Copies of this chain bind each other. A is one copy, B any other.
Amino acid sequence: MPRVPVRPLVRSTTSRTEAFSDGVFAIAVTILVLDLATPAHPPGGLGRALGHLWPAYLGYVASFSYIAVIWLNHHQIFMGIRTMDRGLHAANFFLLMTTSALAFPTAVVSEALGEDLTGKDARVAVALYAGISAAMCLSWTSLYVHLGRHPELLDDSVESAYVRSGVSRSWVGMVLYVAAGVLGALVTPLIALAVFVLLPAFYFLSSSSVVAEEEEAA
């Protein structure tokens, strides 16, 4: 079979995967602004119309933060990945596909909340957002499980506890998003919204130990 060797030093085996992923994350986060369109309004009514867009502002901030935190976690685990195989590419594509899709439920939730904060449509909308977020957590699980089975893809210095903790963290996220979707659909969308805002904050804060390591290792 053909050999396609990697050139030493200049090109690492994960650099293009990181570049492609960074591009997808950057676009996924930036196109969220496309939902912030100038609202229709009578002359002199722009201020009031802009005020009514508050669910869109909330959605922008929440989903931007969410994707930023996903990027940060991606950055951290890829610092420990030495080389890519087919399964890791598949898990990464799954992760990027669910991340890119977030702009859709964000817009759906914003519009539904703007019409009726606790109505039937808002319940459906938060269930959609929760479902796609849960799928994204599942993609993280598949990535960590694959790394756990193929430790040869990792730098020697990455301890298996780190990978196991990633599996747990992503499982917990999936369970919480599913719960948020069910409670948001059956009880009130406000529960789901609280989870959508708080969970990324939790993942950001709980990533600190790894960041501290990054700082220390430099």
Contact = CB atoms under 8 A, between A and B. Distances in A.
A159 to B, nearest CB: 5
Interface stretch (A37-45, A136-144, A168-176): A37-45
Q: Which 6 A-B pairs have the closest CB atoms?
A: A23-B26, A2-B162, A46-B121, A36-B104, A83-B218, A27-B30
Count of chain copies: 4
Consensus secondary structure, chain A interface: helix
Nearest to A81: B4
Interface in A8-44: 9-13, 15-20, 22-34, 36-38, 41, 43-44
Nearest to A68: B93
Interface string A112-125: 10011001110011
B23 A213 contact: no
Given A22-B23, A111-B38, A159-B3, A31 B33 contact: yes
